[in-house]
Amino acid sequence: MDILLQQIINGLTTGSVYAVVALGYTMVYGVIQLINFAHGEVVMIGAMVAFSVITSLAGSHLPPLVIVLAGVMAAIPACMIMGYLLERVAYRPLRHAPRLAPLITAIGMSIILQHLALLAWGRNPLAFPQIIDNRVFGIGGAAISSVQIAIILLSLAMMAGLSWFVYRTRFGIAIRATAENVHIAGLMGVNANRVIAATFVIGAGLGAVAGVMYGSYYGIAHYTMGFSLGLKAFSAAVLGGIGNIAGAMLGGILLGLVEALGTGYVGELTDLCSWPMAHGWLSAQCADGGNFVLFGSNYQDVFAFLMLILVLVFRPSGLLGERVSERA
């Protein structure tokens, strides 16, 4: 099996999910400079809603695709409404408050949503029912499943759709104008409140689909899944340059790849038995093909955070972000 190719395929899959979730962070940040900390929970709730619908329909004689589609179609409006309410109830009243206030509110909302989901769906993860025949195709010594193909294609389609919307429609121009300067956009007749609410709603809708994709890829949905998914997607948005839509997409895919390759190779790279100079004092452990792995694949989640810290330290504006002076 070709590990490199396999990890690239896996990385592209998770990376495209990160990218779609990252769009939600980046759009909101673009217009109101708020880290919508609760976005990860919105994504989680999308996955939970969809899984509930899919599970309840799994016994019926409907074709599997219709069932999945019904789940997604239930999740999207549910998340959109939640995105709207979040903005309206929690963030809008704080729009002119000091910078930390909305962020603390966002953390509070995230905790509330997470525990409401716990109340609604319980502590145990929801499993994705075995209704789709997940076929696996071999390419060049690696395997790619139909779910992976679907996730990558669907993500690309959503990213293309959003790009078209933001760059080619009137409302998209209004969004970009607001991101540039709320006051001037207002003078030009853009209704800032509508634009801001729209970014929340669109981001939540995309997030709902991303949540379903992520859940179906791993086969489960859980009330805590939004936290690390959200944090990684946020890292992706920062990596690409927060506020920048193309950047979020690039950042998501890159982060997925780094994570997959890092997880795939970290064990091998930190196996001291493969380091010549360590052979002397580790000969006992290394005998008979033994190994002495410092960091194994269980450090998977560290990569995203390390990457986030490194990006922020060395290039705070991200890969595609404009370098703006933070001073004065």
Partner 1 sequence: MNDILLEARNIGKRFGGVQALKDVSLTIRSGEIYGLIGPNGAGKTTLFNVFTGLYARDSGEVQFAGKALDLGSPHAVAAAGIARTFQNIRLFANMTALENVMVGRHVRTRAGVFSAILRTRAERAEEAGIRHRAEELLHYVGIADHANDLARQLSYGDQRRLEIARALATEPRLLALDEPVAGMNATETTALRSLIEGLRRDGLTVLLIEHDVKLVMGLCDRVAVLDYGEKIAEDVPEAVRANPIVIEAYLGASTA
Partner 2 sequence: MKTHRERAGLALVALALIALPFVLAMAGTAWVRITNFAVLFALLSLGLNIVVGFAGLLDLGYVAFYAVGAYVYALLASPHFGLHLPFWVILPIGATVACVAGVILGAPTLRLRGDYLAIVTLGFGEIVRIFMNNLSSPVNLTNGPKGINRIDPFQIGPLNFSASDTFGALVFSGPIKYYYFLLLVLLAVIVINRRLQDSRIGRAWVAIREDEIAAKASGINTRNIKLLAFAMGASFGGIAGGMFAAIQGFVSPESFILNESIMVLAMVVLGGMGNIWGVIAGAVLLSFVPELLRYTVEPAQMALFGKLLIDPEVLRMLVFGLALVLTMRFRPAGLWPETRHRREMSEGRT
Residues that bind partner 1 (CB under 8 A): 325, 327-328
167 makes contact with partner 2 (CB under 8 A)? no
Task: Find the part of the chain contacting partner 2 (CB under 8 A) among 68-76, 131-139, 188-196, 287-295.
Answer: 287-295
Q: Which is nearer to partner 2, 167 or 295 (CB)?
A: 295
In this structure, what token pair is assigned to residue 146? 């139909």
Q: Indicate the DSSP class of residue 104.
A: H
Residue 127 phi/psi, 5-degree rounding, is: -95, 145
Q: Which is nearer to partner 2, 165 or 292 (CB)?
A: 292
Q: 1, 98, 189, 277: which one contacts partner 2 (CB under 8 A)?
A: 98
Q: 4, 111, 157, 269: which one contacts partner 2 (CB under 8 A)?
A: 111
For the chain, the first-to-last Cα distance in angstroms comes to 55
Least separation in angstroms between residue 327's CB and partner 2 is 7
> Between the CA of residue 267 and those of 102, 193, 218, what are the distances in Å?
40, 50, 22
316 makes contact, choosing from partner 2, partner 1, none, with CB < 5 to 8 Å by partner type, with: partner 2
Least separation in angstroms between residue 266's CB and partner 2 is 11
144 three-class SS: strand
Query: Which residues in the 291-310 window bind partner 2 by CB under 8 A?
Result: 292-296, 298-299, 301-302, 304-306, 308-309
Closest CA to 51 of 30, 68, 27, 35: 68
Residue that the structure tokens 């504006």 belong to: 317
CB 229 within 8 A of CB 15: no
In this structure, what token pair is assigned to residue 10? 């896996």
Q: Which is nearer to partner 2, 135 or 279 (CB)?
A: 279
Would the CA dihedral through 156, 161, 162, 166 be positive or negative? positive
Q: Which is nearer to partner 2, 18 or 128 (CB)?
A: 18
Site string for partner 2, 127-156 (x = CB under 8 A): ------------------------------
320 makes contact with partner 2 (CB under 8 A)? no
* 221 membership: H or E segment, kind and range: strand 220-221
99 makes contact with partner 2 (CB under 8 A)? yes
In this structure, what token pair is assigned to residue 233? 């997607």
Q: Which is nearer to partner 2, 143 or 306 (CB)?
A: 306
